């Protein structure tokens, strides 16, 4: 159990580590999560496949199947012996090649022809391998012979005549040879006995066996592997032993044969194929025969045989030619081979030991001949063959024909009267001649003549009289012209200068006139010379090119380039480059809203097409200037910020214009497009996103981020909630993993995606419901504006238009939050545009319906049976119809303002009613009449007046009850005097209380008199205090309901000092007498009950007065609301009351 748990834990760790590796790589490369998981699955699949392959191979090697599968790669016992012998010599060759130099080695092949005996009897020392003096025997498999300067691999004749085992062994040897340095050649031995026999079939079969045996090596090494033929056992040829017996030892060591420097072409039908070989043999043998003389020990028969030996050798030519033809003649079955030479050798028994033999004519061949041939042999060339010779002949004929045709074409292009041609004709000739290639294949041999002709034509053309322009003054004048021009013209001038620089550079690069004609023409102000007016444009172009290729032209080009750089870098803002141009069409707001003005545009330089054009112009200028310009580099760095600023301003202008403009009513197709998110505003927003798609997210401004978020919501709104949830989980997981990999704390992120999605879906649903409601409307009615201006009835159908604005506000709060920049406000204004269009459509439909109701309920009844009614009856009917219309259908379309009735408003939008109708409504009806009776202001005022009146009546009753009560008080008089002293003093006082039921008095002659007074609230309205002097009387008076309480209130201590100013008309008299104050004394018995009674009376009076004022105000308001009669004549009624389109 623990072992299984350990396995499970190990595999789980491996899976987790591989998944972590994939996520690390994916987050680094910013791959999507699905791509990361796919990579992980592919890694697991690859690991499983490799593991399965490993197990399969392991099972294969453990079973017996691998024996059959590796059978062809295994060695048999015989092949193992061959490999052992092979490695003995191969290691020697490789070692010598690695340490010293390449050792030439040969393969020795042949049937039982004494080849091993020939090598063993050569008497040459062996440097590697067996070095015993044993009598050489036949080679059973293979044997290496390493002489001083070469090595020979002696192959057994069994490889030629043996069975399948030897054929398989030879395949191994041939394969091993290809892994070695290339052999210097193949030595094929042939017994002279085979040549002496007249069995041609035997020779042919033997040659084919040899050819088939060496075919793998010929295919691999080709003709670089020459064939060497050695005819052995020549001692069996009649006279050979006798002949060699007459030679010296040095002569016997020489070679007897012939080698071709160039491999011969072997043809069995050609009797001259081996003629060089046998001619050389006959010549050499004849020369030696002359030096022999006549040996004395030879018999006449032997001497005759000796003399005929050179001629008898020729007997070997036919059979040898047949053998070589079968071996080397090309055919469809074997590869082509090359023959190097043919030699004749033999082995003669030694005189003192017949068991040993000595090689004849082999010593020099094995020590020098073959080595020299391998080093100095001329490799066969293809042109030595008959087909090669034919090819060379054909090639020579083609070359001769080519030269002839070239001479003819060159002659046709030569212009003999070039010195007498006019400048126009010279320019035309140069243009046509340059279009024909000077160094083409057909005119290449005589191209110097054609170039000389063009040079002569250009020199003749340059003789035209032309005035050179001064270099500094020319470019200074052009610079002043550029600086004095408008921005658009400045760009044209700078581009003309850049184009001239490019054309001049092409001229210096020897561009032809036909190519230069396709370029924009160089303006006359920039040309180096003032050319005659009669000169054609082509002539001027040719002359301009001629002068530009001179040293002065290089200076002209360099000065123009400096001027271009100065003009480009003088204005860092690049206003001249961004100025309007037909090639950079501006983006008009009227493209999406045809009713808007054409002046509301965005510069074409901030659109994709404009940016592409700007890039072309900047690249052209930089090519002409010869490098990147700093001002352009800064412009490229600031491109995204400036582009966003321009688009932000454009969006703000469009939004401001849309808020003031009166857009046409939506059509049916526009409603469908609006529901699909393809309204004019949405198309404009999509255009903005497309144009700003190249702005990186890291450099995006807040308004662009908001716009992209809205666009992303549009794309993801069709996803299921499960997909949205998976996206949120993926985003949080990637954020957390990236923070963990960077060793940073994971910031707590607020999941704002779900509320935003919900708010977006709510707005989308509300918009779609509003569109569906508008499209589902049948005849015109006020259905689309239901509940918009009045509170809908309970249980009624809710208007989806009422959800649009709140849903958009909620979406804005979730998505933008506190972002308040002008660009973001413009973005939200675009999305509000759809809401405004839907509201305008609904209000227009309701206004049109109201207009129809006006015609049917007011205008039509007035026109029906009008001849049967008097004018007064018609006027009364109009008043009644208008009043009923205003209280009926029009009631919901009107709203009360402080100026009177006005068109109903929702979301800052008003019902499109005419001004005449609104004036009529204000005259006929007050704003209060729009409401129901319980909610009217008049009803509220009447109810309030009744309540106030009832309250006032109750207080009046209380006041009446209080007035019926009487309060009695006792006053005692004391002497009155003047405090400051005077010439006259008072003689008495008289106090009078004036009441409705009679006056009450207290008369005192400055004695202690006493009297009672009865006071009733509201009954006594005044008090008079008369101060008696000997000759006159002065009076102090108080009036009002509070006169008695106020008088008593002045005597809290029994006396009161009255100022002379308080005596009214008697003040002047007192002042004349010098009396400023009078001291009056009265003692009040109990003043508090009167004070309390008065206070109660005063409170009730104040309350009643306040209620009376309120009632008066309400009465005045009710009077102002009274409806005036219709003063407008019937002719003043409007025909249409709404702006219905």
Of 24-33, 432-441, 819-828, 1117-1126, the least confident: 1117-1126
| pLDDT interval class at 437 (50, 70, 90) | low
Task: Indicate the SS3 state at residue 267.
Answer: coil
Separation between Cα atoms, residue 756 and residue 710, nearest integer Å: 10
CA distances from residue 486 to 482, 489, 807, 1028 in whole angstroms, order as listed: 8, 5, 50, 108
> Does 508 score more than 90 pLDDT?
no
- Give CA 1102 to chain center in angstroms: 84
> Does 746 score more than 50 pLDDT?
no
State in Å, rounded, how far the first CA of the chain is from the last one.
86
Instruction: Return the pLDDT at 345.
Output: 93
Residue 340 CB contacts under 8 Å (≥ 6 apart), including other chains: 185, 226, 227, 228, 259, 260, 263, 373, 377
> Does 189 score more than 90 pLDDT?
yes
* DSSP classification of residue 237: S
> Does 632 score more than 80 pLDDT?
yes
Q: Give per-residue pLDDT as tens, 1060-1112.
A: 888 888 888 888 888 888 888 888 888 888 888 888 888 888 888 888 888 88
**Which residues pair with residue 1026 across a beta bridge?**
990, 1035
In this prediction, residues 615-625 reach a mean pLDDT of 90
Query: Phi then psi for 2, rounded to 5 degrees?
Result: -65, -35
Token couple for 837: 């269009």
What letters, b where the CB count within 10 A reaches 16 and e where it falls short, cover 284-297? Answer: ebeeebeeeeeeee
Q: Crossing angle of helices 423-435/447-461, nearest 10°?
A: 150
Separation between Cα atoms, residue 172 and residue 77, nearest integer Å: 13
Instruction: Return the pLDDT at 344.
Output: 93
Q: Give per-residue pLDDT as tens, 269-308.
A: 788 888 888 888 888 888 887 777 677 677 878 888 888 8
Instruction: Return the pLDDT at 107.
Output: 92
User: 337 near 328, Cβ under 8 Å?
Assistant: yes
User: 658 near 593, Cβ under 8 Å?
Assistant: yes
Instruction: Return the pLDDT at 229.
Output: 93
> Does 794 score more than 90 pLDDT?
no
User: 458 near 430, Cβ under 8 Å?
Assistant: yes
Instruction: Return the pLDDT at 827.
Output: 87
Instruction: Return the pLDDT at 1125.
Output: 43
In this prediction, residues 909-930 reach a mean pLDDT of 78
> Does 46 score more than 50 pLDDT?
yes
Q: Which is nearest to 685 in space by CA: 708, 715, 668, 667? A: 708
Pick the most confident of 240-254, 490-504, 917-931, 1106-1120: 490-504
In this prediction, residues 767-793 reach a mean pLDDT of 80
Instruction: Return the pLDDT at 133.
Output: 47
Q: Give per-residue pLDDT as tens, 672-705.
A: 888 888 888 888 989 998 888 888 888 888 898 8
Instruction: Return the pLDDT at 225.
Output: 87
User: 324 near 273, Cβ under 8 Å?
Assistant: yes
Neighbours of 526 (CB within 10 A): 22
For the chain, what is the radius of gyration of the CA atoms?
A: 67
Token couple for 31: 């791959």
CATH of 965-1086, one of 3.10.50, 3.10.100, 2.60.40, 2.60.120: 2.60.40
Query: Phi then psi for 1010, rounded to 5 degrees?
Result: -140, 145
For domain 85-378, the CATH architecture is: 3-Layer(aba) Sandwich (3.40)
Instruction: Return the pLDDT at 749.
Output: 44
Q: Give per-residue pLDDT as tens, 577-593.
A: 888 888 889 899 888 88
Instruction: Return the pLDDT at 45.
Output: 92
Q: Which is nearest to 727 in space by CA: 18, 34, 16, 25? A: 34
Instruction: Return the pLDDT at 241.
Output: 86
Mean pLDDT, all residues of the chain:
82
* DSSP classification of residue 1138: B
In this prediction, residues 832-843 reach a mean pLDDT of 87
In this prediction, residues 507-524 reach a mean pLDDT of 82
In this prediction, residues 1002-1014 reach a mean pLDDT of 85
In this prediction, residues 1029-1043 reach a mean pLDDT of 86
Q: Give per-residue pLDDT as tens, 662-679.
A: 777 788 888 888 888 888
Separation between Cα atoms, residue 209 and residue 327, nearest integer Å: 9
Instruction: Return the pLDDT at 751.
Output: 47
User: 1014 near 968, Cβ under 8 Å?
Assistant: yes
- Give CA 702 to chain center in angstroms: 20
Of 224-233, 760-769, 1008-1017, 1129-1138, the least confident: 1129-1138
> Does 558 score more than 80 pLDDT?
yes
Q: Which residue has the higher pLDDT, 731 or 505?
A: 505
Separation between Cα atoms, residue 711 and residue 760, nearest integer Å: 11
User: 866 near 874, Cβ under 8 Å?
Assistant: yes
pTM: 0.58
Q: Which is nearest to 108 in space by CA: 30, 163, 186, 56? A: 186
**Which residues pair with residue 108 across a beta bridge?**
154, 187
Residue 34 CB contacts under 8 Å (≥ 6 apart), including other chains: none
Token couple for 160: 């030629």
Separation between Cα atoms, residue 407 and residue 416, nearest integer Å: 15
Give the rounded percent of residues in the chain with a pLDDT score beyond 70.
88
In this prediction, residues 725-735 reach a mean pLDDT of 66
**How many contiguous H segments (helices) and E segments (strands) does the chain have?**
42, 25
> Does 758 score more than 90 pLDDT?
no
> Does 806 score more than 50 pLDDT?
yes
In this prediction, residues 998-1026 reach a mean pLDDT of 86
Instruction: Return the pLDDT at 720.
Output: 56
Of 120-129, 456-465, 902-911, the least confident: 456-465
Q: Which residue has the higher pLDDT, 1135 or 898?
A: 1135
Instruction: Return the pLDDT at 750.
Output: 42
User: 528 near 553, Cβ under 8 Å?
Assistant: yes
Separation between Cα atoms, residue 680 and residue 673, nearest integer Å: 9
| pLDDT interval class at 1012 (50, 70, 90) | confident
User: 816 near 701, Cβ under 8 Å?
Assistant: no
Following DSSP, what letter does each residue of 746-780 receive, concatenated?
A: -------HHHHHHHHHHHHHHHHHHHHHHHT--S-
Question: What DSSP element (H or E) covers 477?
Answer: helix 471-484
Following DSSP, what letter does each residue of 312-335 receive, concatenated?
A: HGGGGHHHHHHHHHHHHS--SSS-
Is the torsion defined by CA of 216, 217, 221, 226 positive or negative?
Answer: negative
Instruction: Return the pLDDT at 80.
Output: 82
Q: Three-class SS string for 164-175? A: HHHHHHHHHHHH
Length of the chain in residues, anyone? Answer: 1141
> Does 106 score more than 90 pLDDT?
yes
Q: Give per-residue pLDDT as tens, 114-168.
A: 888 888 888 888 887 655 544 566 777 888 999 888 899 999 888 888 788 888 8
User: 1046 near 1088, Cβ under 8 Å?
Assistant: no
Separation between Cα atoms, residue 699 and residue 589, nearest integer Å: 26
| pLDDT interval class at 1124 (50, 70, 90) | very low
Is the torsion defined by CA of 400, 403, 406, 408 positive or negative?
Answer: negative
In this prediction, residues 219-239 reach a mean pLDDT of 88
Q: Crossing angle of helices 753-775/668-675, nearest 10°?
A: 160
Separation between Cα atoms, residue 519 and residue 949, nearest integer Å: 102
Instruction: Return the pLDDT at 342.
Output: 93
Q: What distance separates the 2 farthest-apart alpha carbons in the chain? A: 229
């Amino acid at each position: 159990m623990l072992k299984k748990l350990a396995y499970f834990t190990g595999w789980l760790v491996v899976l987790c580590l591989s998944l972590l590796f994939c996520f690390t790589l994916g987050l680094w490369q910013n791959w999507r999560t699905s791509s990361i998981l796919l990579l992980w699955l592919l890694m697991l699949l690859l690991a499983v496949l490799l593991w399965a392959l490993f197990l399969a191979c392991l099972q294969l090697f453990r079973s017996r199947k691998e024996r059959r599968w590796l059978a062809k790669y295994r060695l048999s016992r015989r092949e193992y012996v061959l490999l052992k012998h092979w490695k003995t010599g191969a290691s020697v060759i490789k070692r010598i090649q690695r340490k010293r130099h390449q050792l030439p080695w040969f393969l020795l092949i042949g049937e039982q022809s004494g080849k091993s005996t020939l090598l063993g009897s050569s008497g040459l020392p062996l440097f590697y391998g067996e070095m015993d003096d044993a009598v050489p025997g036949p080679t059973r498999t293979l044997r290496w012979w390493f002489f001083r300067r070469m090595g020979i691999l002696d192959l057994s004749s069994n490889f030629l005549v043996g069975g399948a085992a030897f054929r398989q062994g030879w395949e191994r040897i041939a394969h091993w040879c290809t892994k070695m340095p290339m052999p210097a050649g193949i030595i094929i031995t042939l017994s002279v006995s085979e040549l002496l026999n007249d069995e041609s079939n035997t020779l042919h079969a033997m040659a084919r066996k040899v050819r088939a045996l060496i075919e793998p090596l010929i295919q691999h090494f080709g003709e670089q592997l020459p064939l060497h033929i050695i005819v052995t056992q020549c001692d069996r040829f009649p006279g050979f032993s006798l002949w060699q017996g007459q030679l010296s030892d040095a002569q016997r060591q020489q070679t007897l044969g012939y080698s071709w420097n160039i491999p011969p072409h072997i043809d069995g039908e050609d009797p001259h194929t081996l003629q060089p070989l046998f001619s050389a043999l006959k010549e050499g043998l004849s020369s030696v025969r002359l030096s022999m003389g006549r040996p004395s020990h030879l018999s006449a028969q032997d001497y005759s045989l000796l003399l005929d030996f050179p001629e008898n050798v020729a007997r070997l030519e036919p059979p040898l030619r047949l053998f070589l033809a079968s071996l080397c003649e090309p055919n469809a079955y074997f590869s082509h081979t090359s023959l190097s030479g043919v030699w004749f050798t033999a082995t003669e028994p030694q005189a003192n030991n017949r068991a040993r033999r000595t090689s004849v004519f082999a010593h020099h061949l094995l020590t020098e001949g073959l080595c020299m041939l391998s080093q100095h042999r001329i490799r066969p060339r293809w042109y030595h063959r008959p087909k090669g010779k034919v090819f060379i002949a054909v090639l020579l004929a083609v070359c001769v024909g080519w030269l002839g045709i070239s001479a003819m074409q060159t002659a046709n292009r030569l212009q003999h009267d070039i010195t007498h041609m006019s400048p126009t004709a010279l320019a035309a000739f140069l243009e046509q001649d340059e279009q024909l290639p000077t160094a083409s294949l057909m005119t290449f041999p005589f191209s110097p003549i054609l170039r000389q002709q063009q040079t002569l034509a250009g020199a003749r053309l340059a003789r035209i009289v032309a005035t050179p322009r001064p270099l500094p003054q020319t470019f200074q004048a052009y610079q002043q012209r550029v600086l004095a021009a408008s921005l658009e013209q400045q760009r044209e001038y700078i581009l003309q200068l850049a184009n001239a620089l490019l054309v001049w550079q092409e001229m210096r690069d020897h561009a032809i006139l036909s190519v230069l004609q396709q370029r924009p023409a160089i303006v006359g102000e920039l040309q180096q010379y003032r050319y005659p007016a009669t000169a054609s444009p082509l002539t001027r172009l040719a002359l301009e090119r001629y002068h530009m290729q001179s040293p002065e032209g290089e200076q002209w080009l360099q000065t123009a380039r400096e001027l271009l750089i100065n003009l480009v870098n003088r204005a860092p803002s690049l206003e001249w480059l961004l100025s309007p141009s037909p090639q950079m069409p501006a983006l008009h707001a009227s493209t999406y809203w045809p009713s808007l003005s054409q002046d509301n545009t965005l510069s074409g330089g901030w659109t994709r097409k404009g940016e592409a054009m700007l890039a072309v112009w900047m690249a052209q200028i930089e090519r002409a200037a010869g490098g990147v310009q700093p001002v352009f580099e800064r412009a490229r760095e600031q491109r995204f910020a400036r582009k966003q600023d321009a688009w932000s301003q454009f969006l703000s202008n469009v939004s401001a214009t849309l808020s003031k403009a009166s857009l046409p009513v939506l059509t049916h197709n526009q409603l469908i497009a609006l529901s699909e998110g393809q309204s004019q505003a949405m198309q404009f927003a999509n255009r903005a996103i497309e144009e700003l798609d190249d702005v990186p997210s890291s450099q995006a401004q807040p308004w662009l981020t908001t716009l992209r978020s809205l666009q992303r919501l549009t794309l993801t709104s069709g996803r299921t909630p499960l997909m949205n949830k998976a996206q949120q989980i993926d985003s949080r997981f990637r954020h957390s993993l990236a923070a963990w990999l960077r060793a940073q704390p994971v910031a707590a992120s607020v999941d704002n995606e779900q509320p935003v999605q919900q708010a977006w879906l709510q707005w989308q649903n509300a918009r779609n419901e509003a569109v569906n409601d508008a499209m589902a409307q049948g005849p015109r009615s006020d259905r689309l504006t239901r509940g918009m201006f009045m509170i809908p009835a309970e249980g009624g159908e809710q208007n989806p238009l009422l959800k649009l604005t709140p849903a958009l506000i909620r979406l804005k709060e979730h998505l933008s939050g506190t972002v308040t920049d002008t660009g973001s406000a413009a973005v939200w204004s675009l999305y509000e545009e759809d809401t405004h269009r839907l509201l305008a459509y609904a209000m227009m439909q309701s206004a049109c319906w109201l207009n129809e109701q006006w015609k049917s309920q007011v205008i039509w009844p007035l026109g029906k049976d009008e001849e049967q009614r008097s004018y007064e009856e018609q006027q009364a009917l109009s008043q009644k119809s208008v009043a009923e219309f205003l209280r009926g259908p029009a009631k919901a379309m009107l709203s009360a303002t402080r100026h009177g009735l006005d068109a109903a408003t929702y979301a800052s939008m008003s019902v499109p009613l005419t001004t005449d109708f609104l004036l009529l409504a204000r005259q006929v009806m007050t704003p209060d009449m729009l409401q129901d009776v319980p909610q009217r202001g008049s009803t509220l005022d009447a109810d309030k007046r009744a309540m106030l009146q009832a309250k006032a009546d109750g207080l009046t009753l209380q006041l009446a009850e209080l007035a019926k009560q009487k309060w009695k008080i006792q006053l005692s008089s004391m002497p009155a005097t003047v405090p400051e002293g005077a010439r006259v003093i008072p003689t008495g006082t008289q106090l009078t209380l004036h009441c409705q039921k009679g006056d009450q008095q207290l008369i005192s002659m400055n004695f202690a008199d006493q009297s009672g007074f009865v006071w009733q609230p509201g009954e006594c309205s005044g008090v008079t205090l008369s101060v008696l002097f000997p000759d006159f009387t002065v009076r102090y008076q108080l009036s009002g309901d509070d006169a008695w309480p106020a008088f008593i209130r002045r005597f809290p201590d029994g006396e009161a000092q009255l100022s002379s100013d308080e005596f009214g008309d008697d003040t002047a008299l007192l002042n004349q007498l010098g009396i400023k104050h009078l001291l009056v004394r009265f003692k009040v018995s109990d003043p508090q009950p009167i004070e309390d009674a008065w206070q109660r009376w005063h409170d009730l009076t104040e309350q009643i007065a306040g209620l009376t004022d309120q009632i008066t105000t309400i009465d005045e308001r009710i009077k102002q609301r009274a409806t005036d009669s219709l003063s407008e004549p019937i002719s003043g009624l409007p025909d249409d009351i709404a702006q219905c389109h």
